[in-house]
Amino acid sequence: MTLKGKAASVEFRGVTKAFGEVVAVNEVSFLIEAGELITFLGPSGCGKTTTLRMVAGLEMPTAGQIFIGETEVTNLPATDRDVSMVFQSYALFPHMTVAENVAYGLVVGGTDKKSARQTAEEGIRLVGLEGYGQRMPSELSGGQQQRVAVARALVLEPQVLLFDEPLSNLDAKLRRRMREEIRDLQQNLGLTVVYVTHDQSEALAVSDRIVVMKNAVIAQVGSPHDLYERPIDTFVADFIGDANLVGAEITRIENGEAVVRMDGIETRRPHQGLRPGPVHVAIRPEAILLSEKTGNGGLEGQVTKAVYLGSHLEYSVACSLGELFVIDHNFDKPVKRGAEVSITFADRGVNLVRQES
C-alpha cells in the first residue's frame, strides 16, 4: 500500500482568539485550497502559532468559524480532527522507538498491529530513515528526529498537515535541505500543508501562497511572486525582501497609472488602487541603478559605503531621498566609496505602497 493525503481545504471565517485581554488573532478570514502549501509568515508574537493551533484543535476560537473540507470543526477537539501536526520541538515520545512513535497514531486509532507496523515502515521509508525503526529518539540527530516527527504525522493520512517553525532547531545547511524535502513530500503526496515560520526566505522558498500576519491580523495574502513584486504596504515591502521606503506624492491618475512626484523627480507606476495624495515608494535594492555622474539633471548622490560580498556588491548612497541601500550584480564597473553618481530606477522593483496601519 502507499501513503497519500486525503487533502482537504481549510477555511477561517472571522476567527478571533483572545487570551484574557490579549487578542492573539483578530477576526481573521482565509481559504486554503486542498493540496496547497500555505505559509503563515510574520514577526514573533503576531499570532501565527495561535492560528495554527486553532486549525489543529488545540485552541478553540473565541469567535468565528473554522471549516475543514465541507465540515465545520470550530469546537471539535484535536483528537477528533483529521489533522496532524509537526511540533517545533518535534515532541517525539522518548519512551518509544522510532517505529513505535510513527505507529502511535495508528495504534491508538485502533488499526490492527500488523498493518500499523507496515504503514509505519512505509512512513519511515518515505522520510528516508529505513533501518532506524528500532532506535530510540535520543539516538537520532536533530534532522533525523524531525523526519520521524514528519513520518509520524504523515502515516495518519491527515486532511491537513501542520508545521510550526519546523526548521528552527536545525543548522542552516540542514534547514535548506529539510525545507526542500518537506516541499517534495507535499507535492508528491498532494497534501494540504499549513506552515508557520518567521523566516521570509524560507516562506518564499516553500510556499504556494503566503499569509503575512502582523499584530493579530492578516497584512496580505499572495504567492511569493505577488508579495515580492506587489507588496501592499510598507510593512510587507520591508518584511519580504529588503526595501528602501521613500515618502512621495501621487499627483494624479492618468491612463490607469499613477503619476508620482518623489522629491522633484516624476515617475509613472501602476496605481495599486491608490488615490492622489501622500504615498510611500518601496524601492528594492537591486532596482536602483548607479552610473557615472552625467550632470544633466536627474537624481544624483554620493557613495558612502561600498562592500564587496562575492556574489554581489552593496552600496550605501546618500542623496536627496535619504540614504539608499543598493545591491549591484554588475562587477564590471565597481563604484568607489566617495564617488559621485547618477541614480536611476529599474521598471521592476519600484512599487507604490500604503503606510502600514
Partner 1 sequence: MTRTGFPAKKLLRVLTVLPIITPPFVISLAIILLFGRSGAVTTSIEFVTGFSPGRWIYGLPGVWFAQMLSFTPIAFLIMIGVVRGVSPAMEEASQTLRADRWKTFTTVTLPLIRPGLANAFLIGFIEGMADFGNPLVLGGDFEVLSTSIFYAIVGAQNDQARAAVLALVLLCFTLSAFFVQRKWLGRKSYTTVTGKGDSGIHPHLPRRLKWLVYSTALPWAALTFVIYAMIMFGGFVKLWGYDHSFTLMHYIEAFGIEWGPQGIIWSGAAWNSFSTTIMIAAISAPLTAGVGLLTAYVLVRQRFGGKDAFEFGTMLSFAIPGTVIGVSYILAFNVPPIELTGTGAILVLCFIFRNMPVGVRAGIASMSQIDRSLDESSLTLGANSFTTLRKVVLPLLRPAIVAALTFSFVRAMTAISAVIFLVSARYDMATSYIIGRVENGDYGLAISYSSTLILVMLSVILLVQYTVGERKIGRRGLAMDQKRPAMEASPV
Ligand X SMILES: Nc1ncnc2c1ncn2[C@@H]1O[C@H](COP(=O)(O)OP(=O)(O)O)[C@@H](O)[C@H]1O
> By the criterion CB under 5 A, which residues form the site for Mg ion?
49
Total number of residues that touch ligand X (CB under 6 A): 11
* Cβ atoms of residues 211 and 38 within 8 Å: yes
Handedness of CA 266, 272, 275, 277 (dihedral sign): negative
Residue 109 near ligand X by CB under 6 A: no
Residue 168 near partner 1 by CB under 8 A: yes
Nearest CA among 202, 218, 243 for reference residue 326: 243
Smallest gap from residue 48 Cβ to partner 1 (A): 13
Residue 48 near ligand X by CB under 6 A: yes
Total number of residues that touch partner 1 (CB under 8 A): 32
Which range of residues in 50-58, 68-76, 118-126, 333-341 is near partner 1 by CB under 8 A? 50-58
Residue 74 near partner 1 by CB under 8 A: no
Instruction: Work out the burial of residue 153: count CB atoms within 10 Å of its CB; fewer than 13 is exposed, 13-18 middle, 19 or more buried.
Output: buried
In the β-sheet with 322-328, what is the strand arrangement from edge to edge?
Answer: 288-292, 340-345, 299-308, 313-319, 322-328
Nearest CA among 221, 177, 189, 191 for reference residue 51: 221
Smallest gap from residue 144 Cβ to partner 1 (A): 16
Smallest gap from residue 52 Cβ to Mg ion (A): 8
Residue 44 near ligand X by CB under 6 A: yes
Residue 46 interacts with, from Mg ion, ligand X, partner 1, none (CB under 5-8 Å by kind): ligand X
Smallest gap from residue 92 Cβ to partner 1 (A): 8
Residue 341 near ligand X by CB under 6 A: no
Which range of residues in 42-50, 120-128, 234-242, 272-280 is near ligand X by CB under 6 A? 42-50
**Cα separations (Å) of 181 from 66, 144, 177, 197?**
29, 12, 6, 16
* Cβ atoms of residues 64 and 13 within 8 Å: yes
Residue 207 interacts with, from Mg ion, partner 1, ligand X, none (CB under 5-8 Å by kind): none
297-317 per-residue burial string, b: 16 or more CB within 10 A, e: under 16 = eebebebeebeeeeeebebbb
Question: Which of positions 168-207 make contact with ligand X (CB under 6 A)?
Answer: none
Question: Which of positions 49-88 make contact with ligand X (CB under 6 A)?
Answer: 49-50
At residue 334's C-alpha, the angle toward residues 332 and 338, to 5°, is 160
Q: Please tell me the distance from the alpha carbon of residue 62 to that of residue 49, in angstroms, as a whole number.
A: 16
**163: phi then psi, degrees, rounded to nearest 5:** -125, 125
**89: phi then psi, degrees, rounded to nearest 5:** -90, 10
Question: Which of positions 108-127 make contact with partner 1 (CB under 8 A)?
Answer: 108-109
Handedness of CA 185, 191, 196, 130 (dihedral sign): negative
Nearer to Mg ion, 52 or 352 (CB): 52
Nearer to Mg ion, 52 or 66 (CB): 52
Applying CB under 6 A, which residues contact ligand X?
19, 22, 24, 42, 44-50
Q: Which positions lie near partner 1, rule CB under 8 A?
A: 53, 56-58, 77-81, 83-85, 87-89, 91-95, 104-105, 108-109, 152-153, 156, 162, 164-165, 168-169
